[in-house]
Amino acid sequence: KHSHESSKEPSFKMIKGPLRSLAFLDSGYVVRHKISQRKLRERKRQKLKVELQQQMHPWMNGLRELHILNRFPTCRRRRSE
């Protein structure tokens, strides 16, 4: 049992090393990365929305807009400004 634990330890240290260096990375980069991820997701959502609008009938689209307005009133207001 003891020998098994000691063999496990070095690999754990190897994992810990890179993690520590990652923690010391420029935090600004991490924030930028998160923001870019959010922008990518947002762009994907916009693209999907446009595709959906092209496929749907106008009355369906109106219903969907109403549904979105009811669900996220603050979001829609901020985006329309």
To which residue do tokens 């109403």 refer? 66
Give Cα 35 to chain centroid, integer Å: 9
Instruction: Look up the pTM and report it.
Output: 0.29
Query: Tell me: the pLDDT tens digits for 22-75?
Result: 555 555 566 666 767 788 888 888 888 877 766 666 666 667 677 767 776 555
Count of positions (residues) in the chain: 81
Instruction: Write down the pLDDT at residue 42.
Output: 87
Instruction: Write down the pLDDT at residue 47.
Output: 85
The Cα 14–Cα 17 span in angstroms is: 5
